[in-house]
Amino acid sequence: MNQKLKEKILESLSAVLPITGIVLLLSILLVPIDLGTMVMFLVGAILLVVGMGFFQLGAEMSMTPLGEGIGVQISKARRIPLIFLIGFSMGAIITISEPDLQVLAEQVPSIPNLTLILTVAVGVGIFLAVAIIRILFQINLSTILIVLYTVLIGVSFFVSKDFLAVAFDSGGVTTGPMTVPFIMAMGVGLASVRGDRNASSDSFGLVALSSVGPILAVLILGMFFNPGETAYAASGVAHVSTTRDVVKEFLFSMPPYVREVLISLVPVAVVFVLFQLFTHRYPRRQVKRVTVGFGYTYIGLVLFLCGVNVGFAPVGSLLGNEIASEAWKWLLVPIGMLIGYYIVKAEPAIQVLNRQVEGVTNGSVSARSMNLCMSLGVSASVGMSMMRVLTGLPIHWIIIPGYLIALILSRFVPKMFVGIAFDSGGVASGPMTTTFLLPLSIGACDAVGGNLMTDAFGVVALVALTPLIAIQVMGILYQYRLKTTDQLAVQEADFTEVMDAMDDIFEFEEGSENGGQS
């Protein structure tokens, strides 16, 4: 176990190190940062690395087997109402447990936090149930997505522009570190019972449909609420002068996260206890392993959220504000793209998705190629987000063409890549996006005097959009390479058959000549 934890922490270190290096370079070349702030940032980075290591191991030990087990049991149920009820309940519970959703809810002033959270939970619950039924009845994912996104874009024209970006952001924040391991594993469990040739490709798509639900639900809510201009207060940079001050700052900031993550995990733990009591699916050894996994997940999320919010978010806001205030403010676009390229690697749920994709495709789609596509997609997203901050470009101008391209591509790529692509969009917009890129965007928007609700928000939505296109393009290239390989194999086989036939002819002629001579 210690060896496994060490491996996870080293993985996390390799993911977070580039971001830390970029911030250090910016502090030297463009935005001087005082030593105390930099120490806070570095300590936050250490907590982030250790926390992500614990979380990934914990999710692997607890959330994945629980989700897979529930998926297997659901697939054995024959009554549609029961399947829908279980899917809805699990979707709602796991969403209420999602820490990222709490962060977004705090930013929307005119809607009570509980109202927004429950609206999103209902949206996820309904669409997770729909996604489960889709897998069981083998309904084409591309067709469902085309219909749903057409409805979604149509509804968006009837919602206040001040609310639009927040609604699209809500779809990204719901698929964070709590929900993704569980939902992805549930899809694998559902598909494993079928055992047909399309089972692997159908195991993807639950996250995709679960991301559509909250967007539609919050858009409908937006018809009745108008949030107006947000009174967002950027995270202040703590003033520290000694190492003791740094330790105090993190220790005093940790209790809210201890409480928040505990509240998040308790419903999921209760689900595990009830599931085990009713099904007796797991042997005693597995129950102990899952319990320890919950402990690791808890420790990891507390350290991760504390490190990101106390160390990373204030520096992100500071960088955005300072860069946008200067004459070289357009440097914000390439800087944002560079940060976006590396920040996706630090998302905990991304690693869960990449490993699952590599396993289901038997290594034909490697975690490395997935990481590259996700990084390129998110890099483009953040670049467009920074451009929106500086120009006030309406989000509709990017969202509608982007989804149109993604949906058209979905008709031409292998079924598996459609599910992977639309799942990856939701997964990419996790805690690092919410707690570093969003403050970076808000800090820059505040510096240029833009409208926070229309210009700064939307970064999560765009981060969730571009991987849809990038992964499907990878799917087209993969399909082309596969066809080329098959054609070469056929040509080689035909050539081998011709050579064998010629050998037979020569052997026959030699035999005839020898026979004639004799």
Residue 413 has what DSSP assignment? S
Closest CA to 271 of 46, 492, 434, 67: 67
Token pair in block for residue 15: 């993911």
- Taking residues 497-502, report their average pLDDT: 53
Residue 265 confidence (pLDDT) above 60: yes
Structure tokens at 197: 């040739």
Span 361-368, average pLDDT: 73
Residues 263 and 239: their CA atoms lie apart, in Å, by 30
Burial 17-27 (b: 16+ CB within 10 A, else e): ebbbebbeebb
pLDDT confidence of 509, banded at 50, 70, 90?
low
- Give pLDDT, residue 107: 63
Taking residues 376-399, report their average pLDDT. Answer: 90
Is a pLDDT exceeding 60 seen at residue 345? yes
Residue 405 has pLDDT above 90, yes or no: yes
What is the mean predicted confidence (pLDDT) over 231-242? 65
CA-closest candidate to residue 265, choices 308, 231, 296: 296
The closest of 402, 400, 394, 384 to 468, measured between CA atoms, is: 402
pLDDT number for residue 334 = 93
Task: Report the number of secondary-structure helices (H) and strands (E) in the chain.
Answer: 22, 0
Q: Which residue has the higher pLDDT, 512 or 464?
A: 464
pLDDT in tens, 157-203: 888 887 788 888 887 777 777 777 788 788 777 777 666 666 566 66
Residues 6 or more apart whose CB falls under 8 angstroms from that of 10 comprise 53
Q: Enumerate the H helices of 30-160 as residue ranges.
A: 35-61, 63-76, 80-96, 99-107, 113-137, 141-156
Query: How confident is the model at residue 255, as a pLDDT?
Result: 92
Say which residues have a Cβ less than 8 Å from residue 342's Cβ, sequence separation at least 6: 15, 18, 19, 22, 375
Residue 514 has pLDDT above 50, yes or no: yes
Report pLDDT for 43: 92
In contact, 215 and 127? CB cutoff 8 Å: no
Please, what's the b/e burial string for 73-104 (b: 16 or more CB within 10 A of its CB; e: otherwise)? bbbeeeeeeebbebbbebbbbbbbbbbbbbbb
Rounded Cα–Cα distance for residues 51 and 311 (Å):
13
Average pLDDT over residues 19-28: 88
Q: What is the dihedral of CA 168, 315, 428, 334, to 10 degrees?
A: 90
**Residue 12: its pLDDT value, please?**
80
Q: Residue 148 above 70 pLDDT? A: yes
Note the pLDDT of residue 360.
66
Environment class of residue 194 by beta-carbon count within 10 Å: exposed (0-12), middle (13-18) or buried (19+)? middle
- Binned at pLDDT 50, 70 and 90, residue 46 comes out as very high
pLDDT tens per residue across span 311-332: 877 888 888 888 888 888 898 9
| CA–CA distance, 230 with 451 (Å, rounded to integer) | 9
Average pLDDT, integer, range 208-229: 79
Do 175 and 211 touch, CB atoms closer than 8 A? yes
Is the per-residue pLDDT at 232 higher than 60? Answer: no
CA pair distance 471, 455, nearest whole angstrom: 27
Mean pLDDT of the chain: 81
Q: What is the pLDDT of residue 298?
A: 92
Model confidence at 229, pLDDT cuts 50, 70, 90, reads: very low
Identify the residue with better confidence: 112 or 317.
317
User: Residue range 332-341: average pLDDT?
Assistant: 90
The DSSP element (H or E) to which 382 belongs, if any, is helix 367-391
Q: How many CB atoms are located within 10 Å of the residue 505 CB?
A: 10
**C-alpha to C-alpha distance for 152 and 212, rounded to whole angstroms:** 8
DSSP secondary-structure letter at 437?
Answer: I
Look up the pTM and report it.
0.78
User: What single DSSP character describes residue 237?
Assistant: P
295: helix, strand or coil? helix
Percentage above 70 pLDDT, the chain: 84
Instruction: List, in order, residues 6 or more apart from 206 with CB less than 8 Å away.
Output: 128, 131, 132, 135, 183, 184, 186, 187, 423
Which of the two residues, 403 and 344, has the higher pLDDT score? Answer: 403
Are the beta carbons of 164 and 156 closer than 8 angstroms?
A: yes
DSSP for residue 508: H
> The tokens of 155 are what?
């509804």
| pLDDT value at residue 363 | 72
Q: Which of 385-389, 403-407, 497-501 has the lowest mean pLDDT?
A: 497-501
Say what the pLDDT of residue 387 is. Answer: 92
Please, which pLDDT band fits residue 489 given cuts at 50, 70 and 90?
low
Contact 26, 331 (CB under 8 A): no
Read off the tokens for 433. 């996006």
CA dist 173 and 431 (Å) reads 8
Residue owning tokens 């900031």? 253
d(CA 118, CA 88): 13
Section 421-429 average pLDDT: 78
Least confident of 35-49, 75-89, 282-296: 75-89
Banded pLDDT at 291 (limits 50, 70, 90): very high
User: 296: pLDDT confidence band, cut at 50, 70 and 90?
Assistant: very high
CA dist 224 → 26, 49, 121 (Å): 43, 42, 18
